[in-house]
Structure 1
Amino acid sequence: MDQVYQQDLSQESPRPGGPFLIQMLFREPTGLPDRDTMLRVLQQHCGRLDCFCHDDKMAGFAALDHMATFQDGSAPVQLMVTACSKISEDLFDPFTRSQMWDCMGERDQILAECRWQIVGVDMLTAALDPLERADLDMDFLEALAGLFPTCAAFYFQNCGKLLKAEEVRGNTITGPDRFIRFGVNARFFNIQGTDDMLVDTLGMSTLFLPDLQYHFHDMDPNWVVGHAYSVASYLLLAGNPIQDGETVDGVLDGAISQEVQWKCQHEGSLIQPPREVLDIFMGEYASGTREN
């Protein structure tokens, strides 16, 4: 029997624009590469850098081509890499595990075997333009994938996505859409006791963009997941232009079509964590009620 999870909107909401966390999972503990190696590889991907710390606990780099501007001045954003540490037994709760769709068949084996982690995190990047930040975070990811060849899997805490390392290293997507691939997770839920389903995304708030939400019935959820990733990409690339009451092209026979128009409305999420979402009303396939 499938595990039943309870709606819980009492938990703390994720902070929009918070740090982007890249957790590299290892089967055996490993050390950080030396300072010069890290600087060389990171600069190949992320542009001009200054290494301001490198010891047995952490390495830190200032990204000189990416400046965060504040009321009292500006400073380069920072890319930090922690030393290897043991993974907490309760890091991946059952609810989080249930939405690791990209490696569902190997999920339990990966998480059982990989008990060590190194974490990459960006700092001050909330001040960047969303497109600039999306590119930098993904450049950072590609650099980390090259620096740590024994990394077995990547876990993206902001969205709950788990991917095998070869999926990251073999990526062919370019530009900001890489963030949609790795930094956004389309989740799927059956609503107990009904024929209703729910698809939503998690991770868009890192870029101060709304997640997507679909409450529906009688449509292949894989079609809806594909639509969600397409709309998420549009929001990022176009600068979040969709206003309440406007429509987006819907899905007809599995493909996005201008013949079908779905109405959009910003609302609170139906599934945890609580956050603002762009709810997409799927016409004849829509379930539940909307605020307007």
Structure 2
Amino acid sequence: MHFILRFNYRREHMSQVFKQDLTDTSVRPGGIFFVELLMPEQCDMPGRDTMVEVLTKYLGPVDCFDHRRDSAGFAPQNYKVHYEDTDADIPPTLMVTNCEKIDKPVLDDFDRSQVWDCPNVDELLAECQYRVFATDMLASGLAAKERADMLVKYVDALLELYPSCKAVVFGPSRKFLSRESIENHPDKEVTRFMYYAVNVRYFSIQGTNDMMVDSVGMSTLFLPDLQYHFHGVDPNHVVFHAYNVLNYIFEHGNIIGDGETIAGLQNGEMNQDIQWKVQYEDSLIQPVREVLDINMGEYASGTR
């Protein structure tokens, strides 16, 4: 299958075709979360005491077990992963690398086509020639909301530590956000993880009237991403539906079973009188991952 992407207003006159790449298995449930902090000039890593102070401000007590020219490592003591084999509770690891020159594009054309929340993405990518990587490690054993809470606070701390940072790329969803949109986002609770780290994407299928909406990023928390293959519905309404379902899953956990039904759409609004069947299957578009496929009834395309 080939698919052509809808472009936002920056590329509304362009037509670019991408192919499926079902060899892309880069997303692993519960895998390492990372961000790339983009900045126009090279900067030094903040001092050890400064990093401990700022991280403690956002995350509570942290132990700094490593601080060198090229990396720093911290263990946030308020977050613990229980290991049954040793009956020990151990904090995850937060790592920060030194600021480095960007030697290849941060986003490829496929990823750039799915940037919806930053109209000046091209300008920021051209301006920012340096980046800092920050990751979590050994965090997959945290409960979903606990890990999400740690990660959004980690991002807030990083923005304070790196005031020259102008944009952030979130892995593995490749969500691209400007510094201002993160700092000014009205949600200051753990649910902002959905805005930071989960990307809802849109595609139109070449040569057909079919469309696709899917999400990337939920698997970091061992929660399912969504997939819609459909026709005849305003895709903006489907994106609205997707965010509602994703927020429900984030709030309540993965409680939607294979073959169950969820509320569908009518006139762009969720309607309990319309029930759409769901099932778990492999994604149709890269990266390959298990998704909760939403069968939109009379509007559904493809086979299941």
How does the TM-score come out when normalised to structure 2? 0.92
Q: Which amino acid aligns with 2:292?
A: L
- Once residues 97 and 265 of structure 1 are traced to their aligned partners in structure 2, the CA distance between those partners, rounded to angstroms, is 29
- Once residues 243 and 103 of structure 2 are traced to their aligned partners in structure 1, the CA distance between those partners, rounded to angstroms, is 31
Superposed counterparts of 1:119-134, under 5 Å: 119-134=133-148
Matched, 1:147 2:133: no
Matched, 1:84 2:72: no
Q: Deviations over 1:78-119 (max 9, x none)?
A: 11111101113144211111111111x312211111110011
Residue identity (%): 49
How does the TM-score come out when normalised to structure 1? 0.95
Give the gaps of 5 or more residues in structure 1. none
Poorly superposed stretches of 4+, deviation over 4 Å: none
- Once residues 98 and 63 of structure 2 are traced to their aligned partners in structure 1, the CA distance between those partners, rounded to angstroms, is 19
Of 9, 29, 35, which aligns to 2:42? Answer: 29
Q: How many residues align?
A: 289
Q: Which amino acid aligns with 1:14?
A: V
Partner of 1:95: 110
Partner of 2:68: 55
Of 191, 210, 213, which aligns to 1:196? Answer: 210
Does the 8 Å contact 1:186/1:199 carry over to 2?
A: yes
Shift of 1:13: 4.3
Give the gaps of 5 or more residues in structure 2. 1-13
Q: Which amino acid aligns with 2:162?
A: F
- Once residues 126 and 118 of structure 1 are traced to their aligned partners in structure 2, the CA distance between those partners, rounded to angstroms, is 22
Shift of 1:229: 1.5
Of 127, 138, 145, which aligns to 2:152? Answer: 138
- Once residues 94 and 284 of structure 1 are traced to their aligned partners in structure 2, the CA distance between those partners, rounded to angstroms, is 33
- Once residues 91 and 161 of structure 1 are traced to their aligned partners in structure 2, the CA distance between those partners, rounded to angstroms, is 11
Partner of 2:11: none
Does the 8 Å contact 2:25/2:289 carry over to 1?
A: no
Partner of 2:274: 260
- Once residues 163 and 273 of structure 2 are traced to their aligned partners in structure 1, the CA distance between those partners, rounded to angstroms, is 47
Partner of 1:38: 51
Partner of 2:80: 67
Secondary structure of 1:2's aligned partner = coil
Larger deviation, residues 63-72 vs 185-194: 63-72
Q: Which amino acid aligns with 1:241?
A: I
Partner of 1:285: 299
Does the 8 Å contact 1:176/1:237 carry over to 2?
A: no
Q: Which amino acid aligns with 1:53?
A: D
Larger deviation, residues 65-74 vs 239-248: 65-74
Superposed counterparts of 1:149-168, under 5 Å: 149-168=163-182
Does the 8 Å contact 2:28/2:289 carry over to 1?
A: no
- Once residues 120 and 57 of structure 1 are traced to their aligned partners in structure 2, the CA distance between those partners, rounded to angstroms, is 12
Does the 8 Å contact 1:27/1:115 carry over to 2?
A: yes
